[in-house]
Amino acid sequence: MAKDTQPERPGFVGTLKQVGMVAAMTAKRDKWFIPLIAAVVLVIAGLTVLATIAWSWIYIPVGVLLALLGALIVLNLRANRTFMAEAEGMPGAAVGIVQNMRGDYRVTPTVQATTDGEMVHLVICRGGVVLLGEGPNTARVRGLISQERKRLTKVIGSADMRDYIIGNDEGQLPLKKLRSTLLRLPRTIAAKDVYALDTRIKALSARPTLPKGAIPKNMRPPKGAFKAMRGR
């Protein structure tokens, strides 16, 4: 069985650069980011000083680590909030969120689409098959989801299939809740079966379709070819 190619993970220096870029972007877009970071660091520093005076200097390195941890937690929360706010209404935002989730989430963007911006994305995970629809016309999005469900029913077997329309209207799934919704899905598929399901669906998409109607004259076999083949 061929293994999927995994993206190369950045080293320590690369990770620091990524954190710095995220922090700089968040600071530009979120006015509360710097004050919250400062508040967390000051509170932890104050507690560390008190603990050092009362007990031992050993609390200094502990306080430094806690301050770094608190700053990273604030960065993660505020960066996610900033990203979600900017991604609202952007085509393909749902795909970007799922592709950056931890775990085996296999995403195929735009398996169905219209020229007016409606589209459906396919996600295969431990929770089964998930269809994510988005676009300005909800009725057309539902039509695309219905077409894709009929197509996938042929190959997914007993795997669960769910669909969501991304949006803030009634009955839709807000973009900010997409990640938590997928994480809460019951794991009805074994980890080894996710690859097999993904392979079957990709094979279905790669299956050639013959054109309807009569065969063009320039593609027809010469007269007597079939008789000659039967006589061999």
pLDDT, tens only, 68-112: 998 899 888 888 777 766 666 677 778 888 888 888 899 999 888
Nearest to 124 by CA among 161, 88, 71: 161
Please tell me the number of Cα atoms within 13 Å of 144 on its side-chain side: 26
Residue range 197-231, pLDDT digits in tens: 888 888 877 655 444 444 455 444 555 544 444 45
Residue range 30-78, pLDDT digits in tens: 788 888 889 999 999 999 999 888 888 888 888 899 999 988 998 888 8
Rounded-to-integer distance, Cα 185 and Cα 173, Å? 14
Rounded-to-integer distance, Cα 184 and Cα 126, Å? 11
The answer to whether the beta carbons of residues 162 and 145 sit under 8 Å apart is no
Nearest to 78 by CA among 33, 19, 20: 33
Helices (H), 117-156: 138-152
- If residue 19 lies in a helix (H) or strand (E), which one and from where to where? helix 12-29
Rounded-to-integer distance, Cα 12 and Cα 70, Å? 20
Location of structure tokens 């990640």: 179
Most confident of 22-31, 158-167, 220-229: 158-167
User: For residue 152, what are its two tokens?
Assistant: 């996938």
What are the C-alpha distances in Å from 175 to residues 87, 128, 152?
Answer: 8, 20, 24
Q: How many CB atoms lie within 10 A of CB 167?
A: 19
Region 115-144: mean pLDDT is 91
Rounded-to-integer distance, Cα 187 and Cα 177, Å? 18
Contacts of 110 (CB under 8 A, 6+ apart): 92, 119, 120, 121
110: alpha, beta or left, given left = phi > 0 and alpha = psi -120 to 50?
A: left
